Structure 1
Amino acid sequence: MEIILKEFVNGLGEVDDLVNVKAGFARNYLIPTGKAIAATPSAKKQLAETLRQREHKAAKIREEAQALAAKLEGVKLTIGAKTSSTGKIFGSVNTIQLAEALEAKGFNVDRKRITIDQDPVKEVGSYKATIRLHKEVSVVIDFDVVSE
């Protein structure tokens, strides 16, 4: 039986995938729990239209992410931190501080999309961080940690 998945099903597929399963599995589990619908001709047309619209929106979001990545390409951040006399930081530099420094420069980036390559940052020096703006677009920025 051909069905259209409405949510992720482990071992079967992602949302809006068109898959073949045994009729009993579809009738007794997937359809009653709302995880899938039967793939009727009208449902297939609606799925095709939904995927077409989603692809158009995804292309626009990808273009915006690439434009932001181009702007972020040459950005170098300086993070100030309280340090001891040996150069060790009290605490550590994290993605929250990087997101705040980017926002101060005019870039609004969610801290959850930032990953620091060398984690944790506990000393003064130069480091790199990766910002994933989209699943296909990421940019690496340099940042320096200096003593306040």
Structure 2
Amino acid sequence: MKKKITVILKRNLVNLGSVGSIVKVSSGYAFNYLIPFNFAQLATIGTLKHYSMFLNIKQKKLYEFKSKLEIVIQKLNKVAKITVKKKVGNNNQIFGSVSDREIFLILFNITGEKLDKKNLYFPNIKKIGIYNLSIVLTNDVKVDMKLQVLPVFI
């Protein structure tokens, strides 16, 4: 007769589950492999209570993040186009290029939200014109807008 015990996984394991999953495994597998290699911990009443407490905290943070994300999306969707003015030389080429810092400053002035550098995707801009700008907030949330580069003559 095999005796099964309950463990909480600390790492993602292909055959068992993901981090935080509560699974029943044989006692030999748990005590000889999972627990010594720190893949899991024994599920006692205290650890299960501790796990549920952290799960509740994680749910609250996720809810707050989603609500804040909705506000940011609404503010960014109101902005259809942003404009950057740059000094122009010959053949409508600008001096330097448009940096992400300039775009972040304009978006911050319009929306009041600070964005991450990793979230912004746009081509290397060396000429005046209209370009596509993508802001990826999460894996499934993407906001597209136009970036217009206008000339400033000296």
Q: Give the TM interval when normalised to the shorter protein.
A: 0.7 to 0.9
TM (norm. structure 1) is 0.73
State the aligned residue count. 141
Residue 28 of structure 1 pairs with residue 43 of structure 2? no
In structure 2, the CA distance between the partners of 1:56 and 1:111, relative to structure 1 (3 Å rule), is closer
Runs of at least 5 residues in structure 2 that lack an aligned partner in the other structure: none
Deviation, 1:20, is: 6.6
In structure 2, the CA distance between the partners of 1:14 and 1:109, relative to structure 1 (3 Å rule), is farther
1:81/1:145 contact within 8 Å kept: yes
Shifted more, 21-30 versus 81-90: the winner is: 21-30
Query: Taking every aligned residue pair, what percent have the same amino acid on both sides?
Result: 24
Q: Secondary structure at the match of 1:91?
A: coil
Q: Which residue of 2 aligns with 1:104?
A: 109
2:9/2:17 contact within 8 Å kept: no
Equivalent residue for 2:44, pick from 19, 40, 46: 40
User: What RMSD over aligned residues (CA atoms) do the two structures have, in Å?
Assistant: 2.9
TM (norm. structure 2) is 0.71
Q: How does 1:1-148 map to 2 (within 5 A)?
A: 2-5=7-10, 15-18=19-22, 22-23=29-30, 24-30=32-38, 36-75=40-79, 76-117=81-122, 119-148=123-152
In structure 2, the CA distance between the partners of 1:107 and 1:55, relative to structure 1 (3 Å rule), is same
2:76/2:143 contact within 8 Å kept: yes
Larger radius of gyration: 2
Deviation, 1:65, is: 1.2
1:77/1:144 contact within 8 Å kept: yes
Q: Secondary structure at the match of 2:94?
A: strand
Q: Secondary structure at the match of 1:78?
A: strand
In structure 2, the CA distance between the partners of 1:9 and 1:48, relative to structure 1 (3 Å rule), is same
In structure 2, the CA distance between the partners of 1:131 and 1:10, relative to structure 1 (3 Å rule), is farther
| AA in 2 matched with 1:90 | F
Q: Secondary structure at the match of 2:126?
A: strand
